[in-house]
Amino acid sequence: MRPSSPAQWFLTAILLLPAALAGMALPASAQQPVTVSPPSKLTLSFMAQQRASIDELARRALGQAISGDPDRDVRLLQRLLDRGIVRAEDVSTLQAMGVVLGDLLASELGLDWVMYDDDSGRSRALHDAQTDTYLFPVTMISRRQQVGNEKPVAAIYADAKTVVEQARPKLPFQ
């Protein structure tokens, strides 16, 4: 049905405008800028609770604590998944596992936890000051598990390390 009066044309244009704009990218000047800030005390406290919850779960269910050793802790996180101790529906525990994974990456690569704010929202991220690269480990495990992707935690960890290492400038004679 074609609009026949000017009022119908106007109404049709108003109704179709959002659909037309949805497929278009906004110009850079219209996009919200990214802001990065240190985590608040409240955020740091929440992350400490998340670490403690994974440590307590691992002690209780597997008889093993979080150690800070990447090889050991990545295997521990994988066992929590493989044994069904943490399921895909348990997003908060999966994200707590992501904090532990992020701590391992931060320790090994010298990254810093930051708050990353963009038009998608506010996220906890790891920042590599050498390259201005950001990783989002809190959701690296949870998003995959939620869609049935069973990529091993060791592969997720290795891929994240590779992203940072490849972005860094090569030292002479490497």
The mean pLDDT value of the chain amounts to 86
Q: What is the dihedral of CA 54, 102, 90, 62, to 10 degrees?
A: -30
User: In this structure, are strands 133-135 and 121-128 parallel, antiparallel, or unpaired?
Assistant: antiparallel
Q: Which CATH number fits domain 35-167: 3.30.70.100, 1.10.3720.10, 1.10.10.10, 1.20.120.1090?
A: 1.20.120.1090
Burial (Cβ within 10 Å: 0-12, 13-18, ≥19) of residue 141:
buried
pLDDT, position 105: 98
Comparison of pLDDT for 13 and 119, the residue scoring more: 119
**Quick check: pTM over 0.85?**
no
pLDDT grade, residue 42 (50/70/90)? very high
User: Mean pLDDT, to the nearest integer, of 9-24?
Assistant: 35
pLDDT of residue 58 exceeding 80 = yes
Nearest to 101 by CA among 61, 132, 143: 143
Over residues 27-41, the mean pLDDT reads 76
Per-domain boundaries in the chain: 35-167
Which tokens belong to 41? 């005390």
Residue 170: what pLDDT? 85
* Residue 171 pLDDT > 80: no
